[in-house]
């Protein structure tokens, strides 16, 4: 199970990294979002994998580690904030510059330096 889990996280990461390396803003944002899923899964797994052990006190003998869960819960919400921010940034950039290229364009180079 652990092998399967880590391989899945690895593939998810690889796909996200590939998207982040694209030259347009939209795939980059999607890549960041997917990477945050991968990161969340990764962090979650630092509490090791447990099946049928939800950390509700008094329901069973052994519990899954609640601490990574609490941290990941907030990470999910923060991840949403980040996704939202970056996507709006991308829209704004498109509105301002007129293109969704993530690389600096030569014609706008002069003005910025």
Q: How far is the CB of 95 from other proteins (least distance, A)?
A: 5
- Residue 30 CA to residue 36 CA, distance in Å, equals 10
Q: Angle, to 10 degrees, between the axis of helix 25-45 and the axis of helix 66-97? A: 170
- Residue in this structure with the two tokens 């293109």, named with its chain if needed: 99
Q: How far is the CB of 28 from other proteins (least distance, A)?
A: 8
| Nearby residues of 67 by Cβ (< 8 Å), 6 or more positions away | 47
Q: How far is the CB of 52 from other proteins (least distance, A)?
A: 6
């Amino acid at each position: 199970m652990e092998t399967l889990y880590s391989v899945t996280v690895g593939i998810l990461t690889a796909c996200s990294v590939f998207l982040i390396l694209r030259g347009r803003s939209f795939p980059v944002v999607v890549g960041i979002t997917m990477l945050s899923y991968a990161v969340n899964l990764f962090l979650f797994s630092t509490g090791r994998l447990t099946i049928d052990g939800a950390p509700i006190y008094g329901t069973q003998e052994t519990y899954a580690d609640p601490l990574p869960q609490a941290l990941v819960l907030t990470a999910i919400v923060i991840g949403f904030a980040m996704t939202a921010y970056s996507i709006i940034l991308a829209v704004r950039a498109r509105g301002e510059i007129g293109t969704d290229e993530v690389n600096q364009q030569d014609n706008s180079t002069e003005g910025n330096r």
